[in-house]
Structure 1
Amino acid sequence: MKQKVKKLLAPLVAGSLIFSLAACSGKSSTSNSESSNEPVTITFSFDQGIGKPAQQLIDEYNASQDKVKVETNILPQDANVVHDDFVNKLASGDTSVDVMAVDVVYVSEFAAAGWLEDLTPHFDESTQDKYLPGTIDAATYDGKLVSFPWFTNASALFYRKDVLEQLGVQPPTTYQGWMDLSEKAKGVNGVEYVADFQAAQSEALVCNWVEFVANNGGEVLDSSGKPVVNSENNIEATKIMADLVKNYAPEGITTYTEPESEQVFLDGKALFLRDWSGFWSQANREGSKVKDLVGVATLPIGPNGDEPHSTLGGLNLVINKAIDEDQKEAAVDFIKYLSGEKAQKEMNLIAAQPPVLQSVYTDPEVLEVNPFYEEFYGIIMNGKARPMSPKYAKVSDAIQRNIHSALTGEVSVEKALDKTQSELEELSK
């Protein structure tokens, strides 16, 4: 395993001893490329949930060239554990990890702390334009490209195609349009509920709520980062969400994250489900009651919405700012490989991860495996990141607690949003 040594010995130590120790450490006072034919070794850290496909890409990268060797540091599949591990390393100046796969919501936090290398010089504007706009936005902080998207995800509206065909209607584009189908759709081919989504007090609730807000012309933070939670548009959007919870969704929806909501739809009981793109393959597996009966549409908009927006997920690649220049150069090359067309396509085919490179969505082989990408491409092109805040974890917690209390009827929508506004204002000080 490589050892990274910033200072080998004090200036008074004999030069021969410095040379000896440098050779043992695998680092030298001159660049590796100048002093040795040995590859520069870098360490890539990610969670075990993406372990197998990530390892396959790493092996292929290592075999494709002899200048860089990538080793791995694999963490448990727990978002909090991964976040805390990265924070501890970066905050202490630890250089044992060079490249990290970071959840998109933590990019701002790490960048604001000064821990991330600026990638802007390595990816010009024409290169960035080849990627999904929302993923580039989520990779940027304070005008700098401080990370690069690896793979993404976005939500979509999965609906019962057979039911709408029997009713002779097209998928509604508004929340009200779906509500208006309630009485007609109930009882048709097993449908009991119109709406199905994720409303438990969790990160899933944040993703859902910010979509209701964005799709009614609202924002959580304005362009300057100022909280604007209790706006009229946001109040209206949250009331629509609460109405769906109370009158059009399963009784237990305020306890639902993805698995619970998915099961209701897979059992054929819901007219539509808001979920992540990966649900498509799950819905069409053998044994699913809705196999071959599922359509895909954009999320609905509210009365003040202009166009639908889905929440973006996924992982971004960042470079530890504390590492040496040789490591940084190698890390950039590795990131360019992972974000290139070959690796982007492969990550989709072996792991069903939606690519960030636009061209992959029209690849014939990808479309054969994911035919719904023809519709999904337009959906994900309009995807938006969650609120970009250096204190995202606390922002998320405030949203979860207060919006959930409104959806369960503990407090009014207005009080819930006023409380959220107050908490976010305090965080922005």
Structure 2
Amino acid sequence: MAIAATAAAIVAGCGGSSGGPVTLNFVGPIDPGGTNTKAAAECSQQSGGRYRIRQLPVANSADATRELFVRRLAAGDKNMDIINMDTIYTPEFAEAGWLTELTGADKEDALEDVLPGPAESVTWEDKIYGVPLNTNVQLLWYRKDLVPRAPETWDEMIQMAKELPAGQGNILEQGNKYEGYVVWFNNLVSSAGGEIVDAEGRPVLDEAAVKAATIIRDVARSGRADPSLSTAQEDQARLAFEAGKGAFMLNWPYVYAAARADAETSEVTAEVFKNMGYARWPAVNKGEPSRVSIGGQNLGVPKSGRNPKLAMEAALCMTQQKWQAQEAINEGLPPVMNAVYDDPEVRKVYPFADLLREQLKDSVVRPPTPSYSDVTLAIQDSLHPPAAINPEQAINTLRDRLNTLADGGMY
């Protein structure tokens, strides 16, 4: 119903009126703090009457949003001028020929001062198909009152957790059968020096993948995983950590601001927040830094839109350094530009800004392939539930499924 309602709104919004500014339909989620709404209004005003950006919100679901975009783009919808895309959409949408390539000054503007990870997320076959808007990487969050320092590796973290009482020493992760579980697996594979698929979607799984599957199983069977691991997502992990039910948590930076806010109304959370440490995501191999998956959003300009030139101008306006900082401060969404991490106001919100920037410099995108939507389902089906994983067998199954998909079949 949400998809149908949004699609109807899009069809109803056709361009601009005669003699007035061109209406550019911006389709995507609306920031809770209103940053992209303010950016749309200011950029519209600065256009000198050439265009007006109108926001059309989408369903609050990544899967539903992707389905909406795919259906409308495949149909050649002329009424989506700018789309707010998840970073994993770039290969699929670019390969299908749906996105406008950025060249010349537009390309330079879009990538100016942008960190390598976010820049890679708008790249497909050495061409640029989007404007980086915001980004994200997971960090390790830990209780400084329970452990003397942050663990360097996963094996070390599991050992440190076992030295604490059950419940208090839990490792909180996202083990539900969904995209967050794929992020965990991809983080481990990349940190072990491997990859999941090549650009054609062919599996390149090796011992790094087996090691990744082994770590997931070991966490699940350690006696220090939350009982709800196989159904846990980001917020369940966050709330358990705030309630004092874990010593370690792997999660996105938003959990810091959330804990700070919740500490005002909960004595337990206040104690947790006072002792909330942060560190680089743990390594798989000692002495080799972790490489984690980036999240975030990019702005894409569909080829089928009525005014791609103006839409590109508007997208570049809405991602300027000013709005990068406001997204970080008001929305909890890390910026893609290097300089924004040195903004004093941003650093107040992100005391871990340097750590975040460091991880972003060598972060990775989730398997960059046009068939990502099938690849992620294959990973989930082959490796779930965590405690039941047989590492060698699970990776062999995943390899077979990915080969089947690459051959055009369904597993």
Question: TM-score, normalising length from structure 2?
Answer: 0.88
- Does the 8 Å CA contact 1:41/1:68 hold for their aligned counterparts? yes
Report if the CA contact (8 A) 2:200-2:406 is conserved. no
Q: Distance in 1 between matches of 2:92 and 2:159?
A: 42
**Counterpart residue identity of residue 267, structure 1:** A
1:421 and 2:399 equivalent?
A: yes
| SS of 2:335 mapped into structure 1 | coil
Distance 1:199 1:257 in 2: 7
> Alpha-carbon deviation of 1:282?
1.4
Q: Which residue in 2 is equivalent to 1:241?
A: 216
Partners of 1:400 and 1:162 lie apart in 2 by 35
Using the TM superposition, give the Cα deviation of residue 194 of structure 1 relative to its aligned residue in structure 2, in angstroms.
4.0
Cα drift, residue 51 of structure 1: 7.9
Aligned mate of 1:147, from 92, 108, 130:
130
Whole-angstrom CA distance in 2 between matches of 1:201 and 1:217: 24
The alpha carbon displacement at 1:56 in A equals: 1.6
Q: Which residue pairs with 1:138 in the alignment?
A: 121
* Cα drift, residue 396 of structure 1: 0.7
Q: How far apart, in 1, do the equivalents of 2:96 and 2:121 lie?
A: 17
The aligned counterpart of 1:389 is: 369
The correspondence for 1:174, drawn from 126, 129, 153, is: 153
Name the SS of the counterpart of 1:265 in structure 2: helix
Which AA in structure 1 matches 2:161?
S
One of 356, 359, 362 as aligned partner of 1:379: 359
Deviation at 1:153, TM superposition (A): 1.4
> Which one of the candidate residues 226, 233, 249 is aligned to 1:273?
249
CA contact under 8 A between 2:281 and 2:290: conserved in structure 1?
yes
Q: Partner of 1:150: helix, strand, or coil?
A: strand
Specify the code of the residue in structure 1 equivalent to 2:155.
Answer: Q
Amino acid at match of 1:56: K
After TM superposition, the structure 1 = structure 2 runs for residues 308-347 of structure 1, keeping only pairs within 5 Å, are 308-324=290-306, 327-347=307-327
SS in structure 1 at match of 2:393: helix
1:403 aligned to 2:386? no
Q: Deviations over 1:277-334 (max 9, x none)?
A: 111111223221412211111111123772212221111111111234xx22211211
Matches within 5 A, 1:280-299: 280-285=256-261, 286=263, 287=266, 288=269, 289-299=271-281
> Contact 1:110/1:116 (CA < 8 Å) preserved in 2?
yes
The answer on 1:93 being equivalent to 2:76 is: yes
Name the stretch that deviates more: 45-54 or 212-221.
45-54
**CA-CA distance at 1:417 after TM superposition:** 1.0
Query: 2:180 is matched by which residue type in structure 1?
Result: A
- Whole-angstrom CA distance in 2 between matches of 1:344 and 1:392: 28
Q: Write the distance in 2 (CA, Å) between the matches of 1:344 and 1:49.
A: 13
Q: What is the Cα deviation at residue 129 of structure 1?
A: 5.3
Q: Is the 8 A contact 1:95 1:322 kept in 2?
A: yes
In the alignment, which residue of structure 1 is the partner of 2:346?
A: 366
Q: Distance in 1 between matches of 2:13 and 2:154?
A: 56
Instruction: Find the counterpart in structure 2 of residue 256 from structure 1.
Output: 232
For 1:14-29, what aligned pairs fall within 5 Å after superposition?
Answer: 26=17
Structure 1: segments with no counterpart, 5+ residues: 5-24, 28-35
Deviation at residue 127 of structure 1 after TM alignment: 6.1
Query: Structure 2 counterpart of 1:380, which letter?
Result: L
Unaligned stretches of 5+ residues in structure 2: 1-11
- Give distance in 2, aligned partners of 1:123 and 1:332: 8
Farther off after superposition, 56-65 or 212-221? 56-65
- 1:398 and 1:95, CA in 2 relative to 1: closer, same or farther beyond 3 A? same
Show CA shifts across 1:316-353 (max 9, x none): 111111234xx222112112112211111112222121
Structure-2 separation of matches of 1:126 and 1:348: 20
Give the letter for the 1:277 counterpart: P
Name 1:226's counterpart in structure 2: 202
Partner of 1:348: 328
Q: Secondary structure at the match of 1:408?
A: helix
Amino acid at match of 2:151: P
C-alpha distance in 1 between matches for 2:104 and 2:120: 16
CA shift, 1:49, in A, is 5.6
Matches for 1:140-219 after TM superposition, within 5 Å: 140-165=123-148, 170-186=149-165, 192-219=168-195
- Given residue 44 of structure 1, which amino acid in structure 2 is its aligned partner? F
What is the match of residue 7 of structure 1? none
1:59 counterpart (41, 55, 65) = 41
Identical counterparts, % of pairs:
27
Do the aligned partners of residues 58 and 351 (structure 1) sit closer, same or farther apart at CA in structure 2, a change above 3 Å counting?
same
> Which amino acid counterpart does residue 210 of structure 1 have in structure 2?
N
In the alignment, which residue of structure 1 is the partner of 2:102? 119
- Structure 2 CA distance for partners of 1:358 and 1:294, relative to 1, 3 Å: same
The SS at the match of 1:290 is helix
Deviations along 1:143-179, one digit per CA (max 9) or x if unpaired, are 11011211111111001122224xxxx3121112212
SS in 2 for 1:295: strand
Q: What is the rounded CA distance, in whole Å, between the counterparts of 1:303 and 1:214 in structure 2?
A: 11
Distance in 1, Cα, partners of 2:303 & 2:102:
10
Shift of 1:369: 2.4
CA shift, 1:81, in A, is: 2.1
Closer, same or farther in 2 for the Cα pair 1:249/1:96, shift >3 Å?
A: same
Distance in 2, Cα, partners of 1:81 & 1:361: 32
Q: Residues 194 and 155 from structure 1, CA distance in 2 versus in 1: closer, same or farther, beyond 3 angstroms?
A: same
Aligned-pair CA distance for 1:43: 1.2
Deviations 1:162-219 (A, max 9, x none): 2224xxxx312111221232344337xxx62242111111111001111111111121
Equivalent position SS for 1:47: coil
- Whether the 8 Å CA contact 1:284–1:290 is kept in 2: the answer is no
Deviation string 1:220-274 (CA, Å, 9 cap, x unpaired) is 1246643112x11210221022101111312321121112222221111211100
